[in-house]
Every structure is written in structure tokens, then in C-alpha cells.
Structure 1
Amino acid sequence: MPPAPTLTEQRDEIAKLLADESYDGDVDELLQRADDIAAKIEQANQRDARLRALQAANLPAGDPKPQSNQQRHQPGMQPDDIGRQHPVTVAEAFIRSKALETFRSGNYQGKTGETFGPSDVRDAPAGTTTTGTYPLQNTRVPGVIPENPDYPLMVADLLDQQTSDGTTLEYLRDISGPVTGSGTWNNAAVVAEGKTKPMSGPFEFELVTTTLKTVAHWTPLTRQAADDNSQLMGYINGRLTYGLRFKEDRQVLTGNGTTEMQGILTTPGIGVYQPGSGNTDAKLITVRKARTQAELALYPPDSVILNPLDWQDIELDTDANGQFRVITSVTEPGAAMRLWGLRVVTTVAMAQGTGLLGGFRAGATMWRRQGITILMSDSHASLFIDNTLVILAEHRANVAVHTPAAFVKITFAAAA
């Protein structure tokens, strides 16, 4: 009986099949095999690493008693939500990467980087941990503490999320939309046997060709901060990753579609609702009428995006008896914000006096490539002689607004 193939041989065989464009076998089964062999290789690497660490460990003279069984984790070593010892955020993945280990062992000369897919961007576990991996350093406050508070990042999360394998994005944009009342959009009918069936349409589409846009920024940090896993994770999670998504929210709404991402508000063909001349409808009423317009377009809306000041006006709107028209919980932090059955998203990325209502998952898709890339280097300006490093985060993405009719731009009437 021939020997069983090694992990390397199995990996090479599957890789060859994946690269074969003429492969006509069960693709789902092939992908499952690829995932299984990747998991086995990762497990083998972890076992090898644990073995080398155990062999290198030396106990002091006297062989002291074993420590308590209480489990401790270094930053970047927390288990995920089902107990697996995998990184749960981009920052933790970077802390655990071989690239960072090699970079540190080389006294931070050159550049290191890692790329993490969208699935790596998850909430970090609660609690604070410490590390003894590297010599203790004096705590230095990293950079300048930002003056602005963290705003909620929810706009991009409303969209359908997909991953792109290339840099060029092509999609069909529906420019026809339903023709309500004329019968051309939907001519479905009961047809007698043997009779000609009616045709619906015609539907009109345009081919949109664009590229994924790169969103990036960097910040300096000291070598002491780079040796401190907790500080390094703070840079990546609290500043760099957050900053990318903060910018992304603005791009989703108002990107120009050429040098920037395609913003929904700048996409031709979206619906528009604005109270007529002399109409002094309250903002609460305006949102309700805009919802009706979206429903008449046959794309049921699920959310509305508002500037915080406009949402404040709606929440504080009172009737003649001084009773609030919108019932909200002022005692429960984080209570869900809803209006006319719609999820309310507030963001300063939306201009005051303007709102966006629509079926976000049905109308647009966020396409991402490679997730977030984290790079660290001393190769910039005079940073090497200043004992300073830079850490950079970037990712590529764009929005495909394939069904503009699913959205309605709201313009509120000026205050009386």
C-alpha cells in the first residue's frame, strides 16, 4: 500500500486544481478540501511553535511549584467567540503575525506588513490584559489624543457586503425602475391555456465600469509603543481601523464616483422628496411621506440616515399639549432608534437638512478587496535616526449602487 500523501502534497494537489480553469468537478467540495487542509497546516504550525517554545523554556533552580491553572492571555492571543485560539480583530492578528515577530527580531529595520480579510474585523473581547513577552517599557502616551469623540459607524454596515478578487469593478445599474400605473414594469396576468403570455418590461440597464478605491492613512509611533502589544493594538483598532471606516461612511454617502467611491447621494436616478413651496411639514411628517414614495417605487425601505441635529428635531417634536410625538427611551443607553418602522442611523457624514431613506441591502453592495492591510516601517523621512516608526492602514473598496430607485433623498423644509 503506498504511503498516505503528506500535507504538502495534498496542499499542492488542491492548489493545482483551484488554478485549473477547466476543472469540471464539484467546486464546493474542492473548496471544502482546501479549507480542511489549510486548517490542518495551521494546526501543524501551531503544534511546532508550541513544541519549540516548550523545549526552549528553562525553570529556575529548585523547580518551583506549578502556577495556578487560571488562564491568562497576552494581547493578541484571546480566543474567539467559540473558544478557538484565533485573533478576533485586525489588531490582534497583526500582533500575532510572523511578520511582526521577524520585524521586531531585526531591531525594526525595514518594513513589515500583513493583510487581513473582512472576516477578521470583529469586536474585541472585553477586558484589559498585559504582556511579559518583551522587556518592560516606560508607558508613553501614543501621539496626540484626538479631540473629536468616536462617532457611530453604521452607514456602510447597512449595505450588502461582498468580496472582490480584482481591482476593476463592473456591474449593471438598473435605470428603468418600475413604471407605476402604466403596466409596463409588471404585465403578469392570468393566461388561458394556449394563449400568448404577456411580456413585462422592457428593462433598461447600463454597464458601470469603475475601480476599487484605496482608503489609507498612517501615524507615527515610538519604538517603545511598538514593543508594547497593548499600545500597538490601540493604534490599530482605536485610530487606524476606526479612521478608515469613518472616512468610508462619508464615501458611501457623498463620494464623487470618479476619484472617490460611488456615493449613493451622487448616483443618478435615485428618488427625491422635498416638500413643495410653502409646505411647512415637520421633519417627522416629511420622513413618512418619503417612505411612501419609496414604497410606490416598489422597493420597501428599511433604514433612514439623518444628521444628528435633524434627528434631535424629530425626537424633540411636541404636539399642542407638549407631548413628544416620537416615544424614545431616555433612560436606556443604546436603545434602538426607529421611526415609522425604519432603523434610524445618525451620522455627521450626512449634511444637516438632508436625509437618505431606502432599501439599502437591496439597492447597493459594498465590494471590498483584501480587507485591511497593516504596514509598519522606519523607512520614512528621518524616522530611523529619530527612533520612530510609522504604522499604516489601508484597504480597497467601492460601492455599486445597482438599483438607484431603491433610495430616496430627503430635503427637509426650512424651519418656519
Structure 2
Amino acid sequence: MTDLTQLEQEYKQVQADLKSVGDTLKGYAEKSEKEIKAHQQLSEESKANADTALAKFNELQAKLNDITQKLERPQDNPKESVQSLGQMVVESESFKNANMNASFRGSVRVKAPRSAITTTTTNIVAPDRQAGIIVPPVRRMTIRDLLIPGTTNSNSIEFVRETGFTNNATTVGESMAKPYSDITFELINSPVRTVAHLFKASRQILDDVSGLISYIDGRARNGLQLAEEKQLLFGNGSGSNILGIVPQASSFTPSLSVANATAIDRIRLALLQAVLAEFPSNGIVLNPIDWAGIELTKDNEGRYIIGNPMDGTTPRLWNLPVVETQAMNANHFLVGAFNMAAQIFDRMDMEVLISTENDKDFENNMITIRAEDRLALAVYRPEAFVTGEVTPTA
């Protein structure tokens, strides 16, 4: 058995175990609700069982994250190097069997693994034919990479969220009653949402494999990423929208008062706020404008505080990676334990459909390309995320 096969089997087993523990937690939550209504408190046995299940759930989530990262890690064999979405489409059996060229009629459907959503490649051959279309630069998406990865076969995700914990643990004398700590839960349902778009291309691009690869990578994948990133951050949960992280995050409320606090100070205080919520942050999200402002900060002698303009610097602040994305509103930040407090669930692999029979494609000698994926977001601990203004406004 190869290491990859073994990892895949472990991945499936951990997913099954997570579902089982999740169902158990759901049962405890329902039982706890009944006990509170009947006795105004939880029994010691119920609390102990819930604590054990929660600990197991967190342990399995960490294990799932580790296995997923190993599965999606590029292999050492160059023949198995990661492909871009466009390359996956043109090298798929569906595409090859259709013998697609400018005289092709019909449609072809191709599915790509979820890793294609965030993976890019730098060895794409530039197209020889100039179609008169300037492909926009691909913006690196990183919010998805910060989150716990997952998959689902359902149309919604149900999970138990701990909504409060009052720690009443203390020293107890012999024969004295032990105090109860107060833990409250609620059952959350997060529906799977579809992110999709269509766009046109000239039929002649079917004769240009390199051009088609570049076009799919530049439009299909990037378009989905742009919409997905905005949804993961700011979706309001209504209609077909995901309920994003920022609407659920805690507002920035510093525990310390710092005179003349800078943007760097305020972010450090936000990290402290997350630590006090018992979920230390693993990332910082900023708009590129705000990150540039922080990088340009100088001391009294004109020296840059962060990085060296000659050598560049990996975006980091307070020993944490900085994600700079235009999906984040300017003059706002988000910090949080992305790798523990939230998880993304992919309902299906990314799908690309190429058709010559949509709308007026036959009349206009065009093709239609549709790209879509389906996903849900679970935020297990909203207070693990903190959002606020980089520079306070009046």
C-alpha cells in the first residue's frame, strides 16, 4: 500500500469519526437543553460527557487538517507536479475524447479537485494567437488556505457551537459540594452555497490549447476565487449568500490602553483579545493599502521598521503571516484562529463546462464557459475572530 493510498484511507476514516462525534455532540446539546429546562442546570455527568466529546472533536479536526495538508502537498516526482485548472481541463479524458477544435459542436463537462481552486502553476506556455483579450493578473487567494479544509456529501452542515463557558473551578474541601461550571451550546446549520459564473470566448480558442489553458486559469478559476473570497469574509447569510467570518467576528475592544496607538499596536491588541477568548490567532487579514502603510512605517531616523526594501520581506506581523487581499475592506483588519475556529466544506469538485450551443453562440461563432463550485462555511467559535479599524475614524 502506497503512502498516498494510506493517507486517503485515513482521511476517510477521520471524516467518518468526525461525523460520529458530531452526532454525539448534537445529542448532548439536545439533552442539555432538556436538563436546563427541567432543573435549571446540567448534571455533572452531562458536562463531563460534553467535555470529552468536544475534546475528541477538536482532536479529530486537527488530525483531518494535517492529513489534508499532506494530501495536497506537491509530490517530489516532477511527473506528478500540480496542474493548473486550465491544464486539468484540456488534459482530461472528457476534453480529449470530444476532440475539441474550432469545428466542435456540443458541450464538455470537466471536474477538477478542490486543490485547483487555490493552486497555480508558472510553467504555462504563452499562447501564440493574440485574441485581443487582456487577461487580468491572477490575485493570490489565501483565505481558503487559512481555514480547516473539509468535504461534505450533504446540502448543509450541522455543528454544535459552544456559546458560553463560565469556569467555576476552585479548591474544594473534603466532603464539600463541587461547583458547576456553566457551558452552553447551540446547534447551527450552515447551508451549502453555489458560486458560479459564465463567460464567452471565441470558437477559435479551441484550436489553441495553450490559449485555452491561460483563459480558463485567468477567468474561470480567478473569477470563482474572487467571489468565494468575498463570501468567506463578508457573506451576510441571506438568500444564496454564505454567512462569512467578519459578520460573526467580535468587534475590536482592547483590554489595554496604549497612548497614541499605531496600526501595529491596534493589531497587537486585537491578537490579545483573541488570546483572551482562548483561541490564539494564526493569521492577520489586511487590505493591500493598509499593509503597504504598515510596511512604509519608519522610525525617527527614517529606517523602515518592517522589512528591507532592497530584499523584500515575507508579509508577517507579530510573528504571524499577513494575508493581503482586496476582498478585505480598506482600513479594516481581521485576526483569528482560522485553523481551529472555522472550517470550509466543499460539496463538489470545481466544475468547468464548455459549450458551443448556449444563447447565440452558433450565430456569433462563440463558445460559453461555465465554472462553479459548491461549499459551506462553519464558524465554530466566533469570538476567536476579531475585526476592527486599522486607524480609528472620527
Normalising by structure 1, we get a TM-score of: 0.69
* Distance in structure 2 (CA, Å) of the matches to 1:234 and 1:299: 41
- 1:385 aligns to 2:363 (yes or no): yes
Which residue of 297, 300, 317 maps to 1:339? 317
2:350 aligned counterpart, secondary structure: strand
Which residue of 108, 112, 116 maps to 2:108? 112
What are the Cα deviations for residues 178-220 of structure 1, in whole angstroms up to 9, with x where unaligned? 55xxx34xx3x677999876543x3222222232111111221
Larger relative helix fraction? 2
* Distance in structure 2 (CA, Å) of the matches to 1:80 and 1:227: 31
* Distance in structure 2 (CA, Å) of the matches to 1:274 and 1:366: 29
CA shift, 1:95, in A, is: 1.1
* Distance in structure 2 (CA, Å) of the matches to 1:395 and 1:337: 29
Identify which range, 312-321 or 292-301, moves more after superposition: 312-321
Which residue of 228, 234, 246 maps to 1:265? 246
2:363 aligned counterpart, secondary structure: coil
Which residue of 376, 381, 385 maps to 1:407? 385
How many pairs are equivalent? 325
Q: Percent identity?
A: 30
CA shift, 1:161, in A, is: 0.8
What amino acid maps onto 2:98 in structure 1? F
* Distance in structure 2 (CA, Å) of the matches to 1:88 and 1:193: 66
What amino acid maps onto 1:242 in structure 2? N
Aligned to 2:29: none
* Distance in structure 2 (CA, Å) of the matches to 1:318 and 1:87: 40
Which residue of 165, 169, 174 maps to 2:157? 169
What amino acid maps onto 2:306 in structure 1? I
Aligned to 1:141: 130
CA shift, 1:174, in A, is: 2.6
Structure number with bigger Rg: 1
Structure 1 residues 231 and 320, CA, compared in 2 at 3 Å: closer, same or farther? same
Structure 1 residues 314 and 125, CA, compared in 2 at 3 Å: closer, same or farther? closer
Identify which range, 231-240 or 112-121, moves more after superposition: 112-121
CA shift, 1:100, in A, is: 1.6
* Distance in structure 2 (CA, Å) of the matches to 1:81 and 1:230: 25
Structure 1 residues 80 and 113, CA, compared in 2 at 3 Å: closer, same or farther? farther
CA shift, 1:368, in A, is: 0.8
What are the Cα deviations for residues 263-321 of structure 1, in whole angstroms up to 9, with x where unaligned? 11112x63433699997421111111111111111111111111122222222223334
Gaps of 5+ in 2: 1-7, 14-73
What amino acid maps onto 1:93 in structure 2? M
Gaps of 5+ in 1: 1-26, 33-78, 131-137
Identify which range, 115-124 or 236-245, moves more after superposition: 115-124
Q: How does 1:7-406 map to 2 (within 5 A)?
A: 81-84=76-79, 88-104=83-99, 107-120=103-116, 123=119, 126-129=122-125, 139-142=128-131, 144-146=133-135, 149-176=137-164, 178-179=165-166, 183-184=167-168, 187=169, 199-200=180-181, 202-258=182-238, 259-267=240-248, 270-273=250-253, 280-324=260-304, 326-333=305-312, 335-406=313-384
2:380 aligned counterpart, secondary structure: coil
CA shift, 1:394, in A, is: 0.6
What amino acid maps onto 1:152 in structure 2? R
